[in-house]
Structure 1
Amino acid sequence: MFDPQLFVSTLLTLFVILDPPGLLPVFLGLTRGMSIEARRASARNAAVVAFGIISTFAVFGRFILAYLHITIEALQVSGGLLLLLVAMQLLTGSGENEALESGTNIAIVPLGIPLLAGPGSIVAMMLAVEAAQGSLWGYVTVGAALVAAMVLVWVFLRFAGGIRRVLRESGTVLLTRIAGMLLAAIAVQMLADGVLTFLRQI
């Protein structure tokens, strides 16, 4: 039967890792030059992309990583490097116009991956699938938790425009720079975690 405890624990874990409220400043910064329609499309596409990637790794993750000889630490380091590049663009404003013209690209990188579908959320889903213990209802429960988490992400990003209207252009620019600084810190932490975990295994 449907396992409420597994559902709640998986949903809460994903929500904390995905951190939709914390993603709002980054989302507003990346979509500053977009129209309302393009911003909403980016929110929807980011949630869909993240759902597709996380669900794929939930089912085939261990096989994919084993076949390619990739460790979770390698994912952390590569994701950290990618986020660091995006953070530098947010801080300096370089490439801003080019990046903001394409909502599809932003929805894929960095929103879909690695901000949403990053090492943390991927590993959390892989562990949740293991916790289902081969039960069909367990898999359904974990899948429902992932869908619920992505819906919550979409809701937060979908209504980020209201925050932008309150902040106006000057406030959004300020928030963009702050988001860049925070994103740089997240990137450095991901890099450090990946490197330290790798060194411990040597």
Structure 2
Amino acid sequence: MLTSLIVTQFVVLWAVIDPIGSVPVYLSQTQRLTPKQRRIVALKAVAIATGVLLFFLIAGQLLLEAMQIPLPAFQAAGGLVLLLFALTMIFGESKPEQEQKISEEICHSELADLAVYPLAIPSIASPGAMMAIVMLTDNNRYSLIDQSITAGVMVAVLVITLLLLFGATKIQKVIGNVGAAIISRVMGLILAAVAVNNLLMGIKNFYL
């Protein structure tokens, strides 16, 4: 049961954070920087993304309750948003293609700006990731231990993201932009299945 939970959450968080899809974005953002500056940007970006996602993990549901929004409604809405996000990954431009266009507009920004946008947000801490982390830590469905496991899985995915960014140049030579686009679309298909399940569960729980 525990292994199944960890695997499921890892797949969901891997799909919404999409570490491999962030590699081309990172490369295009840092192509004119020194190796040391590249590492700084990667560290800052992952640290900022971690802080944002931890905020949603800890306070996301509290904010919803303060606004008197039932979690099943948010779960259904989150499932719908995740589904739309997944469909754009499958049928639209892939994540690397979309965010490379953004990065071309700010290639002269300072290191901090490069780390924040578009690398930390919305590439790593995407809206889909924020939605997913709130749904995966529902206080009414998951115990504190389960939520701690979710936090650990999320941190693990982010650490892998950081390692991939550190090795981005070598990875890009191996998979290329085409490989990253293919992986992004496969992750989109997996995410779509998870999103439909969350949407149906949210609707079901709302009327129970």
TM-score of the superposition, structure 2-length normalised? Answer: 0.64
Where does the alignment leave 5 or more consecutive residues of structure 1 unmatched? 1-5, 133-140
What is the identity, as a one-letter code, of the residue corresponding to 2:49? A
Q: Secondary structure at the match of 1:33?
A: helix
**Which residue does 1:126 correspond to in 2?**
138
Question: Is 1:96 aligned with 2:100?
Answer: yes
Q: Secondary structure at the match of 2:27?
A: coil
Distance 2:165 2:101 in 1: 19
- 1:1-202 matches, within 5 Å, as 14-15=9-10, 17-19=12-14, 23-35=18-30, 36=38, 37-64=40-67, 66=69, 70-85=73-88, 88-90=92-94, 93-94=97-98, 96-99=100-103, 101=106, 102-106=114-118, 107-119=120-132, 121-127=133-139, 131-132=143-144, 145=149, 148-169=152-173, 171-197=175-201
Note the aligned Cα RMSD (angstroms): 4.1
Where does the alignment leave 5 or more consecutive residues of structure 2 unmatched? 31-37, 107-113
Q: Secondary structure at the match of 1:89?
A: coil
Shift of 1:85: 3.4
Percentage identity across aligned positions?
Answer: 12
Distance 1:52 1:185, change over 3 A: same
Shift of 1:63: 4.2
Contact 1:83–1:110 (CA under 8 A) maintained in structure 2: no
Contact 1:84–1:183 (CA under 8 A) maintained in structure 2: no
What is the identity, as a one-letter code, of the residue corresponding to 1:131? S
Distance 1:99 1:115, change over 3 A: farther
Shift of 1:128: 7.5
Distance 1:175 1:40, change over 3 A: farther
Contact 2:85–2:128 (CA under 8 A) maintained in structure 1: no
